[in-house]
Structure 1
């Protein structure tokens, strides 16, 4: 036998291992924690540094953009002031010439003097000049295009479709002066699509206005030269600078140097042109974003031209200048600080490790001293428990708790003593539970048969014993074929249930019992819980359920037939009405001599109304028309009865005269003719015995007529078969209506002189699916539904009296006032 480990020695050994492991774990946790803290702090330093530097470069770029925009606005305002001042100077020159010569020279001479004085004037480095137009569009002076002088430019447009002369004349007419922007030619430059800002002012006393302007791109170039020089000198941080490129890749400012703008980025930094082209594409895409954005890449530093470092830049586009401005910061500058922090962390980890090792050694020495004392007391308590468990297998002797020294073991001793009593009580309860479950299974109406994997019976309830006649003790251990032969066919489902662990159900099995058809549901349940394998077969008799379901289906069919009858009646009613109306019109036109239209038509054909009537009488046409009207009236009455019979019941249950309902259903039954049996309901004699002053009855008329029609039709068929036999009787119905005053009911009696019923048939006549007719001739639910309508729906009574050979009488009693169910 394998040697067992001594518990106390085991505790001592593993206690030391635990302490060493705990110390090592604490050291490892501290080292790992310190390392994670260092990594976290490093990541945090990098994140904070990058976020701070990104904010700085964004602020620097936006500051430069604001400076550019400010200079543009200031330059534009200054330019507008310059050209306005120049135009005012021109007007002052013209005014002086006019005032000095108005009394000595003619108007044409003065005008020529003004033109000659303004023509040679140039300003703004020779690109500025004057022009003078008449208010009707005639060019008086054109400083850059003398050939336009004397031409009318009223309908002339610039490249953008603006009517310059018209627009400037409108400004003069409205305000006398003003600024105007359009596109025009530039001296010493090809093309005519240069944007120009112009100021115009009227020259008194002539219908002239003088103007001067500057080209927008000239203004921009002046701004660019000034700004680029200032921006190239901007520095921030240790390595920070501003760079500016054109949208087409030309370098303007980079690494603190000013460039001419004639070289591309990849031509200036030509060590790796493809990389620089890729970098420019990224910068260009960012520059197109409103508000700018950041870009990450590698680039050389100012002081280390042979090494690239990771860098982040902020790019901002200025579309009207076709520039993008950027500034960047190198991300590896923070690594020096991180390296210092990590060196300090390593020293801290070494000191903590040494401290923990010394503490762990001291704890182990104290543990060994304490455990030697604890071990002696623990062995005594373990000996008590060992002796207890040795006895507990065959006795109920308790532990002497006074000898137990440790509180925890004392509580264990208390629980162990309770365990003995609980075991005894549990065994008793288990016996009771077995008996209880057995009673439940035996009380079930279903047949319950348990089988093991070999098909042997393990459970057999009272229902199985009652059907087979085999007791539970005798059935246990038998095969299913021996104990319950008619269930042998279920063995295939038993094997399938065990294999798939799924319930197998065979519904509506048919079997014959004492000449009667019965239906059963057979279910096979696999047993898979608590390691028990096998199956349980349950057999349930569902005969009544099947019959009720079939009765409901048949009832739904009858409702559908009623709806079909209503539809047919409606379809018949329309042509029937047309036929009767046409017959009436024919009668009027052929028999009435007092109608002028009839007389006129007869005269036009050369005969008289008397001759027509004589012909009709001889041919009996008038009698035929009468027969048509009479037959139509009878058909209309039949249709009306069919509609009334098929109409849905009213939830309010109005009151009806039962005599009227009975007469209507008799009239409807009169249309019933069975071609196979060759009987005609109209040949049956009807005797009515109705009491006078019968009270109205609250009912569902359609359902009551359904009951009456069913009884009359069954009786008619029975009397027809009986009269065709040996007994030659005239078929007859006696219909009675009697007021049962004390009971508060009206009684309906329908009596026939048919073959009657024997006592056995009379007792079962209201059972669902019971019929005396041949197979296929009847469903056996007509009278059961009728019984349900009278007793359940109307809270009435229905019974039958019959003597074989003397006839049958159905008795129906309906309450006068409706009682809620």
Structure 2
């Protein structure tokens, strides 16, 4: 919109804030709404993830707890069995002791017969448990299950491998009075087949006899298993639908919330997707503890199948697969509740934001009206004075502007002219040659196409030159990732014509790496230094004119007088840029003032003294770096030259603040 009068300006000041504030309010509320929706989806996803993770941890905890309970109870029951066997033997031991006292007047044979018959019929553990008596040398006195052993020496009995069955026990009682261990024995009503048995035996010294009993290992293990399932597994419940189940490795259900499943063969249990549930559970248990997913046979809350994630742990020596899981339906209900909760919170938040936005908009609009009235009065009161001052300032500004404009345009045109001279010469040569060939009738299509192609390529190069200079003067300040080689190429492209015209040789050593900076501002600073270096050769008889341009990557700030605070941003490393010439250096009395505003050693018509000051401001304040200048020597072809050396240190990544 073109403002042609003060009234239009006042109207613009008065009404544009209303429009801008309204648009900003709409934009902000829209952005808040969109952000809330995005956060809503993210929060739901987080809730879902947290639900799954927490339930995985919970089910794993329950299964691992059951596993530890099994291990602990197994150890406890083994210890209890030992105590129980000792208690049983001790009871019989006291009986023998009492009988011995009572019938001490009888001969030993008759006494032992009374003891034997008194103990023969004693049973425990559902008839499995009994007591046996023998001399400690192996002569059997009582064996209710195998009477043929009685009154015989069993120390000579051997197993099918030729090993003595009771030799270890007989040898043990040569020095000890108690024995707890394992041996093989027949079971009541099970024929002559022998089973592994845990046994406890105690020596009764007065008669030199041993008294023992035991429990069959198989029966003991079954008792442990049944006890653990009954006391520690079957009744475990947690959450809404949490329970522990057990399969043995043959597929039989040992524990489940549905008691009718217990004892059933369920190896072929399959879900609606064809997933072999029991087989995969057993497979996972044999491999390692872990999670599997399938459609469960039932969900306790609904009594219907539901998607389930289950943690499995194996008890290999028992051939058990222990598991527990959680249902997808529970998660969906949980997420639905959270969804309603989040939606209510979002709606409330949007409502409050809208109210606040309306209030702020009303305040700002009122403020805009108030300010416009102040401005109106201001313009009315000082109209003539301001108009006069504006006219005077315009005259001064136009003079300065024209000077600055002419200087900038002159330098720009000079650079562009150098860049364009050779390509334009090529275009002119091709065009005039083509015209002559056509006039002489010597122009064929192939030659014409070749000439036109060269002209097209050349004009593209000219266009690229314009783009390069336009990009350099681009006012946009954007922090981005740039390549050191690209920065170098752009800087040299902008001054290549000056280097050629001044017969200056450019030497460079570039570490190719990337860093984050404000590219145009860095280019502006580099151009100021490079142009300064080129100008330094003016009116000097130097045969080998050299500018050395290096870019290096360093892990540490190695500038001797670099302030640590100024270099503290380079946590990931530093870019060190050095630009050195052999133009004789900077006068000692000037070197400390080189970065001051309006200081220049050039004639007033050639310089303003603002270039290096702006470079210092750009590097130190905008780019969070450090710049230093010094006189230094440069060696070339065995000769030493003196010149100015500018060193710039930049962090790999600019941190705001």
| TM value normalised by structure 2 | 0.50
Higher relative contact order (CA 8 A, sep 6+): 2
Which has the larger Rg? 1
| TM value normalised by structure 1 | 0.41
